[in-house]
Amino acid sequence: MLPKAHLHLHFTGSMRPATLLELADKYGVHLPEALTGGEPPQLRATDERGWFRFQRLYDLARSCLREPDDIRRLVREAAEEDVRDGSGWLEIQVDPTSYAPRLGGLIPALEIILDAVESASRETGLGMRVLVAANRMRHPLDARTLARLAVRYADRGVVGFGLSNDERRGMARDFDRAFAIAREGGLLAAPHGGELTGPASVRDCLDDLRAARIGHGVRAAEDPRLLRKLAEKGVTCEVCPASNVALGVYEKPEDVPLRTLFEAGVPMALGADDPLLFGSRLAAQYEFARVHHGFSDEELAELARQSVRGSAAPEDVRAKLLAGVDDWLAAGPAVRRAPGADTPRAGAPGGRRVR
């Protein structure tokens, strides 16, 4: 299995489908067929109706996380899935505001999450940290509160600060003070941009929020000057190809501009985004690059290296993972292409795995 880092995974979206079904039954939550069927929904979130549907499904799934044990289970299982996919480092993204009402408030919610991450890391051996993300749909003052909270817990496992939800709502500059607080507190800035809107969204993240990483960023491919800027600054784009297709950002797998970014020298970290909704986890994103874009083993290894370099992992973890990538390449084609070496464990590339 090719060693790698996972830098774009949302909290509720990391849940196993079988776990969601069990929790929904436990709490009497009625789930629509889109969350219970064998195929991931085609959400087409590039229009208002599609994004509303995506958000509704996500909110329904999140409503099934009500007790600390539910949080601990989700985090442990997310870690187990990442380990199986060859990940040695995971930065899971969460807005604790969404879980606070059921977990006793904002601070207790974040502490429960961080304790769960610490336990899961210890039990699985996976390096695991948290990226606290503000919601673009909320007031910028809420983002400042979250940024201060994230900084407060920087020594407890918070490594970054993000900005998620519909990037068509709210200007990046509205959140500049929150990101300044996070950066001044030593946190990595990693807002979403360049997914549902074009290159200007990525540029705003760079100029207004001084992003060190961009969540998604694929629409930068439409602007050669912006690509050069990303490459020169070494800003990593957390590219989630299966998600891009499911949300209708691109019509088909071959349209995702993986080659364009790669050949422009833009660092990439492939991510699963929301496996619960999109039906594929981390290793499947690498298989996506191999099958639909012809990435060779050497190029896949370079993608894995870029994910490690773009992470907030400490130097010893980075060194171990990078050495593991070299070992994977040196093992030879027969070992690299063995079943399970870096492919989804059921179905075609990007296919849903239901436990």
> Which residues are marked as active site?
195
The answer to whether 172 touches 191, Cβ cutoff 8 Å, is: yes
Adjacent-strand bridge partners of 87: 4
Q: Residue 262 and residue 328: Cα distance in Å, rounded?
A: 21
Q: Tokens standing for 65?
A: 């996380």
Q: Residue 53 and residue 302: Cα distance in Å, rounded?
A: 36
Q: Nearest-5° angle of CA 274, CA 276, CA 277? A: 75
Give the type of residue at 95. D
Q: Residue 100 and residue 107: Cα distance in Å, rounded?
A: 8
Q: Which of 83, 91, 78 is nearest to 3 (CA)?
A: 83
Adjacent-strand bridge partners of 237: 214, 268
Say how many C-beta atoms besides its own lie within 10 A of residue 342's C-beta. Answer: 22
Q: Tokens standing for 311?
A: 């992470």
